[in-house]
Amino acid sequence: MKKPLNVGMIGYGFMGRAHSNAYRQANRFFDLPYELVLKAACARQKEPLQAFAERWGYESTASDWRALIERKDVDVIDICTPNHLHAEIAIAAAAQGKMILCEKPLAMNGVEGRRMVEAVEKAGVANMVWYNYRRVPAVTLAKKLIDEGKLGKIFHYRAKFLQDWTISPELPQGGAGLWRLDVQAAGSGVTGDLLAHCIDTALWLNGDLASVNAMTETFIKERKHNLTGKVEKVGIDDACAFLARFKNGSLANFESTRYARGHKALYTFEINGEHASIAWDLHDLHRLQYFDHRDEGQVRGWRSIHVTDGDHPYMGHWWVPGLQIGYEHSFTHQVADFVQGLASGKPAEPTFRDALRTQAVLDAILQSAATQRWVAPEM
Ligand code: SOE
């Protein structure tokens, strides 16, 4: 019998489901040193929580996160709440000696993020932030190719994350499902929600950013607030675009919006190096596009690598070569890496400290948009 690793999940929304599925799958497909146990699910709303707990097979429920983090039979706290609760819960859970997995973005801002990093490091507890796209096999392969030097010196990085679900002015802000539109709960709009993913991947693949120059827009200025029933000012950014310079000298542009009609979750990036380029698209997530100038001239061209072979990252754990996997598997990979990191002593990334670098860029973007100046992230 493997030792159990008991998970206490806080929240039951979209991410609560994505993470629960990952905990359920990880031991079935990866040979891990601990057995993940869905010990308790926690939220204030009793009925939906009960239904969530039964559906995913949680052993118990709790209505108060403070009671949950004190439980001796819970080892890991998974924070799937709106962003404004991340810091308070994480800091309290660290003080109880719990390992912490936190949904992205780490915090509302860098100040909060730094307090969270201090708390987990002082307590010496394992910690990780759910930037799941790093573990889509094609993205992990991109990292491998870059680290092997296949691209050579990198000149350009461009990324975008486009959605279209908030175009209607009738859509309210706030409350379950719509807290992402409420600045008090989310901290920012597409910057913290979507660009955070693009930035996490970018820093991972291409190193730190030296400076950013951003613009943001809030297209719908007022929306009914679900919690007050009143029409209130919208405080989030609906769209954000920024130029950036990486410390390694490469130039970047990033764009994100929830107003790109026709696009639901189009996360793409392209990187151009001296020898080769790579491109990736979330809507075709198992493929990595690769162009290598060193190929023989007459057959030189973009290759579309179907990242499904046994020697591709993570794929040996799934089906047979050629059969692809999807979005949810990136979370399963993250759980597997986290558990393996506990045993090996080499923590899975991104840790809170890694995610603080992304948070610093988010702060710099918002500051740049407000001041119309280039801003250097405070790393
Ligand atoms: C927003 O719609 C959202 O669900 C983000 O919050 C997730 O982080 C992203 O992966 C998909 O889009």
- CB 265 less than 6 A from any atom of ligand 1: yes
- CB 193 less than 6 A from any atom of ligand 1: yes
| Inter-CA distances, 50 with 7, 23, 40, 44, Å | 16, 18, 11, 11
Q: Token match 């996997």: residue?
A: 325
> How many Å apart are CA 174 and CA 182, to the nearest integer?
5
Mean pLDDT of 183-208: 98
Confidence band, pLDDT 50/70/90 cuts, at residue 243: very high
State the distance from the centre of ligand 1 to the C-alpha of 199, rounded, in angstroms: 14
Structural contact between residues 108 and 135, judged by C-beta atoms closer than 8 angstroms = no
> How many Å apart are CA 225 and CA 179, to the nearest integer?
10
State the distance from the centre of ligand 1 to the C-alpha of 354, rounded, in angstroms: 20
Mean pLDDT taken over the chain? 98
> How many Å apart are CA 288 and CA 352, to the nearest integer?
28
Closest CA to 244 of 110, 374, 50: 374
Task: Note the pLDDT tens digit of each residue in 305-320.
Answer: 999 999 999 999 999 9
Residues in contact with 125: Cβ distance below 8 Å, sequence separation at least 6, in sequence order? 93, 94, 97, 98, 99, 100
Confidence band, pLDDT 50/70/90 cuts, at residue 1: confident
> How many Å apart are CA 168 and CA 145, to the nearest integer?
42
Burial of 148 (0-12, 13-18, 19+ CB in 10 A): exposed
**Which atom from ligand 1 is nearest to the alpha carbon of 14?**
4
Among 180, 194, 268, 329, which is best to mutate for testing ligand 1, by the most ligand atoms less than 8 A from CB? 194
Sign of CA dihedral 83, 85, 87, 90: negative
Mean pLDDT of 212-239: 98
State the distance from the centre of ligand 1 to the C-alpha of 136, rounded, in angstroms: 15
**Which atom from ligand 1 is nearest to the alpha carbon of 196?**
8
Would you state the structure tokens that stand for residue 354, as one six-digit string?
Answer: 């890694």
Task: Note the pLDDT tens digit of each residue in 89-133.
Answer: 999 999 999 999 999 999 999 999 999 999 999 999 999 999 999
State the distance from the centre of ligand 1 to the C-alpha of 161, rounded, in angstroms: 10
**Which atom from ligand 1 is nearest to the alpha carbon of 133?**
10
- CB 266 less than 6 A from any atom of ligand 1: no
State the distance from the centre of ligand 1 to the C-alpha of 95, rounded, in angstroms: 29
State the distance from the centre of ligand 1 to the C-alpha of 180, rounded, in angstroms: 9
> How many Å apart are CA 257 and CA 194, to the nearest integer?
8
Q: What angle do CA 374, 237, 186 make, to 5 degrees?
A: 110
pLDDT score at 332: 99
